Amino acid sequence: MQITSHGAAGFVTGSCHLVDTGSSRLLVDCGMYQGSKSLNRLNYEPFAFDPESIDFVINTHAHIDHCGLLPKLVKHGFNGTIYASPPTADLLPIMLSDSAYIQEKDTEHENRRRLRKGLEPRQPLYTEEDVEKTVSLIQVINYNDSMQAAPGVTFRLRDAGHVIGSSIVELFVENKEADETKTVFSGDLGQWDVPIIEDPTFILNSDYVFVESTYGDRVHQKVLPRKEELLRQITRTCGRGGKLLIPCFALERTQELLYVLSALKNEAPDFPPVNIYLDSPLAIKITEVFKKHPDIYDEEARARTDQPFDFPGLVCTPSVEESRQVNQLDGPAIVIAGSGMCNAGRIRHHLKHGIWDPRNTVLFVGYQAPGTLGRILLDGAEEVKMMGSEFVVKAEIAKIGSFSAHADKDELTNWLTNFKEKPKTVFLIHGEPDTLETFSANLTSLGFNTKIAEKDKPLFKEADGWK
C-alpha cells in the first residue's frame, strides 16, 4: 500500500490523499486550493495522477477545500463512486453548483482582462454540467456502517463534529499477511460542545493516522456565541429603529446563529417583534439540509421541541427581488447575509444601503481575514469603498465571540492520546508549515512517531512498516 498527499500537505487547503492498495486506487477528498493567488493557480494544474485510474472517492465533508475539485476530477475522466454521509451527499450538489457558478463568473471576468492583453481566453475550471455528472456518482453511506468498496478494501465513516455530515474515515486494507492494515483520516475535526452537531468521535485504534493540524499550535478561547450579547445588540439596534446586519458563512455558522436566535425569541421577553431575514440563497438551501437530518443532531438539539430553523418571524428571501425589498426596508430588522467576510455576496448591498446610517449595527460573528472588507470595518475604518463608491461608516461595528469549526491544539492532542495504543505513525496534514512543525514537536514529546506529509511525495509501506 502506498499513500500520497496531493494537497493539504504543507498548507491548509486542497485536501486530496491517494491510497494505492496495489489492487485498487482511491482518494480521500478532492478539494480546491483556496487563499493566495499562487495556491489558486494550483487548481488549474493537471492532477498529479490519472483521474481515470481512480476507482472511488471518499468525501469527508462538503467544505470546498475538501470537495471543490471533484467536478474537475470527473471532467478529466473519473467515473467511479463518490461515497459521502447523507448530509454531505445533500450538501455536495448545493456547494458544487455554487462553486461552478463562481468559477464561470470568475473566468468571464478574467477573460475580459486577458482579451485586453491579447491573451487566449481561459476555460472555467468546471461548469454546472460537470457538477451534474459528479452528483450522479454520489453514493450515500451512513455513519458507522461498513462498506466494502473494492476487493480487500473496506471503510467506515464516523462523525467528525466539524460541520453537519462531516466524517472521519476508517480505512481497512487487507495486506499480504492476510491481515488488515487500518488507516484513519481525521478529515476536519470539530470543537467539542458546539451547538447542533455531535462532538467528534474518538477512535480507539489504528495502525496509521492522518490528522488535520489547522490549529495544531494554538488553543482557542472558549467563547460561546453569547446569547446575552447577541440579545443586547438586537434590542439596542432595533430599539433605535435600525437594522442589525450580520455577515455570515452559509454552512454551519448561519445555522448556529438561527439556532441561538430561535431560542432567544422563545426565552427572552424583551426580544423585539422584528423579522429575521435570511438573505442568502446558499444558506437557505443549506438550512434545508439541516432540517432534513435531525437524527444526527446532538442531544440538546434533539431535545428542543420547537423548530430552531423554522420559526415565526424568520423570513427567507432567495430571490433578488425579495433581497432588494429587504434593502429598502425602513425600520428595525435583523438581516443575515453572505459572505461572512463581506468580500462578495448580498451583504455588500445591505452595507451599501445601511453602513452610513448610525441607527444600524454590523455585527461580525466569525473570523475576518486580513485584507477583507470585514476586517477593514472591524479595524475601525471611517470610510470604505464598495462597488466603485465611497461610503462613510456611521453604523456601529460590533463583534461577538463564536465557535471555530476546527479543534484546537488541546482538542487534537486529546483526540490522539485517546487511542488505546499509539498508532505506528501519525501523519500531519492540513496545516501551515510553522503550525505543522510545532504540532509535530508537541506530539513527539508525548511519544508519538510523527511525519509531516509533503505534497506529491509517496509514503511507502513495505511489508509491515513504513519507510
The secondary structure element, H or E, covering residue 418 is: none
CB nearer to Zn ion: pick between 181 and 339: 339
CB nearer to Zn ion: pick between 63 and 461: 63
CB nearer to Zn ion: pick between 65 and 279: 65
Q: Is 128 helix (H, G, I), strand (E, B) or coil?
A: helix
- Any contact of residue 253 with Zn ion (CB under 5 A)? no
CB nearer to Zn ion: pick between 63 and 156: 63
- Any contact of residue 156 with Zn ion (CB under 5 A)? no
Query: Of the listed pieces 56-64, 363-371, 386-394, 453-461, which binds Zn ion according to CB under 5 A?
Result: 56-64
**Shortest Cβ distance from residue 45 to Zn ion (Å)?**
22
Task: Tell whether omega for the bond before 339 is within 30 degrees of 0, i.e. cis.
Answer: yes
**Shortest Cβ distance from residue 313 to Zn ion (Å)?**
31
R_g over Cα of the chain: 23
User: CA-to-CA distance for 291 and 311, rounded, in angstroms?
Assistant: 12
C-alpha cell at 116: 485586453
Query: Of the listed pieces 57-65, 128-136, 255-263, 444-452, which binds Zn ion according to CB under 5 A?
Result: 57-65
Residue from 63, 265, 350, 353 binding Zn ion (CB under 5 A):
63
- Any contact of residue 188 with Zn ion (CB under 5 A)? yes
Long-range contacts of the stretch 13-18 (C-beta < 8 A, 24+) = 13/39, 13/65, 14/39, 14/42, 14/43, 14/65, 14/69, 15/60, 15/65, 15/66, 15/429, 15/430, 16/69, 17/185, 17/210, 17/429, 18/49, 18/54
User: CA-to-CA distance for 262 and 276, rounded, in angstroms?
Assistant: 10
CB nearer to Zn ion: pick between 170 and 212: 212
Cα angle, residue 185 at apex, residues 180 and 191 outer, rounded to 5°? 140
N-term to C-term CA, the chain? 12
User: CA-to-CA distance for 374 and 209, rounded, in angstroms?
Assistant: 37
**Shortest Cβ distance from residue 189 to Zn ion (Å)?**
9
CB nearer to Zn ion: pick between 95 and 416: 95
**Shortest Cβ distance from residue 315 to Zn ion (Å)?**
29
**Shortest Cβ distance from residue 9 to Zn ion (Å)?**
16
Closest CA to 345 of 315, 320, 314, 380: 320
Helical H runs in 208-271?
A: 227-239, 253-267
**Shortest Cβ distance from residue 399 to Zn ion (Å)?**
22
Number of residues counted as binding Zn ion (CB under 5 A): 2
CB nearer to Zn ion: pick between 159 and 188: 188
User: CA-to-CA distance for 253 and 274, rounded, in angstroms?
Assistant: 21
E strand segments, 177-272: 180-185, 208-212, 243-247
Query: Of the listed pieces 63-71, 269-277, 280-288, 387-395, which binds Zn ion according to CB under 5 A?
Result: 63-71
**Shortest Cβ distance from residue 14 to Zn ion (Å)?**
12
Query: Of the listed pieces 49-57, 174-182, 187-195, 243-251, which binds Zn ion according to CB under 5 A?
Result: 187-195
Where along the sequence are the contacts to Zn ion (CB under 5 A)? 63, 188
